[in-house]
Amino acid sequence: MALTCYLTQTILALSLFYGVGLGLGGKTSPLLNWGIAIAFFLLQAALANAWLKKFYYGPVEWLWRSATFFRLFPFRRK
């Protein structure tokens, strides 16, 4: 789940704080920016924990592993 979480955080931060998205980085206080980041991290940690109870890998990790070894790995836990 590490790569999936990293990419999700990157996409969220780009869309919220930089000019390619809402551009809130210069418009909001650093304290609010930290609050948004920490809240998203906690939400993401809870969702990742729930995800890994049902699946072996995160979606990006599964795709990466399957593409690397040229075969489909089991995705869902039994």
pTM of the prediction?
A: 0.82
Q: Is the pLDDT of residue 27 over 90?
A: no
Distance, CA of 69 to CA of 9 (rounded, Å): 27
Q: What is the pLDDT of residue 21?
A: 76
Structural tokens at position 7: 């990419």
For residue 76, the 8-state DSSP code is B
Q: Is the pLDDT of residue 3 over 80?
A: yes
Contact (Cβ atoms closer than 8 angstroms) between residue 62 and residue 7: no
Which residues are within 8 A (CB) of 38 and not within 5 positions of it... i.e. 6 or more apart? Answer: none
Contact (Cβ atoms closer than 8 angstroms) between residue 53 and residue 59: no
Contact (Cβ atoms closer than 8 angstroms) between residue 58 and residue 75: no
